[in-house]
């Protein structure tokens, strides 16, 4: 991926499960919503991408994604830790974060909303339901929702 491509990302998908990531990407592409998408497989890579560190040194940090789709159960750094970093930093605190997770635990929802998540979506297990939820979610966050100056 070129640095120009890295600087025009609209969706950052943070997901360690290849099958879920591929299905999410395919669904968003099918709806014309994944033209500028980046997929990272762990929480540390997500922060590196957003803050232009590690493998992403030199990425233009003024070009942030319109939305971050964040799994909770990630290697290296959990989704909760990623969310905590994002919402505490002035550079990233306004970026909408949608937790897209297999969890249906009330405690996970409370922690996420307490940290400032914009939406909490439990991944449906059934294929068609998953496709429908991801499609609607992408439509809302990328086409309907308005962001100030991002």
Pair 87, 115: CB distance under 8 Å = yes
DSSP class of residue 16? S
Pair 48, 56: CB distance under 8 Å = yes
Domains of the chain listed by start with CATH number: 3-144 (3.40.50.2300)
CA distances from 46 to 69, 130, 139 (A): 10, 23, 22
Pair 82, 72: CB distance under 8 Å = no
92-127 pLDDT, tens digit per residue, is: 999 999 999 888 889 999 999 999 999 898 887 888
Q: Report the alpha-carbon distance of residue 12 to residue 34 in Å, rounded.
A: 10
49-96 pLDDT, tens digit per residue, is: 999 999 999 888 888 898 999 999 999 999 999 999 999 999 999 999
**By percentage, how much of the chain surpasses pLDDT 70?**
92
* pTM of this structure: 0.88
Nearest CA among 47, 128, 117 for reference residue 85:
47
Contacts 24+ apart (CB under 8 A), 46-49: 46/12, 46/14, 46/70, 46/74, 46/77, 46/82, 47/77, 47/82, 47/85, 49/6, 49/12
């Amino acid at each position: 991926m070129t640095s120009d491509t890295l600087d025009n990302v609209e969706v950052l998908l943070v997901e360690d499960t290849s099958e879920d990531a591929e299905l999410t990407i395919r669904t968003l592409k099918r709806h014309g919503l994944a033209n500028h998408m980046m997929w990272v497989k762990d929480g540390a890579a997500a922060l590196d991408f957003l803050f232009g560190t590690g493998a992403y040194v030199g990425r233009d940090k003024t070009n942030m994604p319109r939305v971050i789709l964040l799994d909770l159960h990630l290697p290296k750094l959990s989704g909760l830790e990623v969310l905590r970093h994002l919402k505490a930093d002035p550079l990233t605190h306004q970026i909408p974060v949608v937790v897209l997770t297999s969890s249906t635990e009330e405690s996970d929802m409370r922690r996420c909303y307490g940290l400032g998540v914009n939406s909490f979506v439990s991944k449906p297990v059934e294929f068609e339901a998953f496709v429908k939820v991801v499609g609607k979610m992408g439509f809302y966050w990328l086409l309907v929702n308005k962001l100030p100056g991002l």
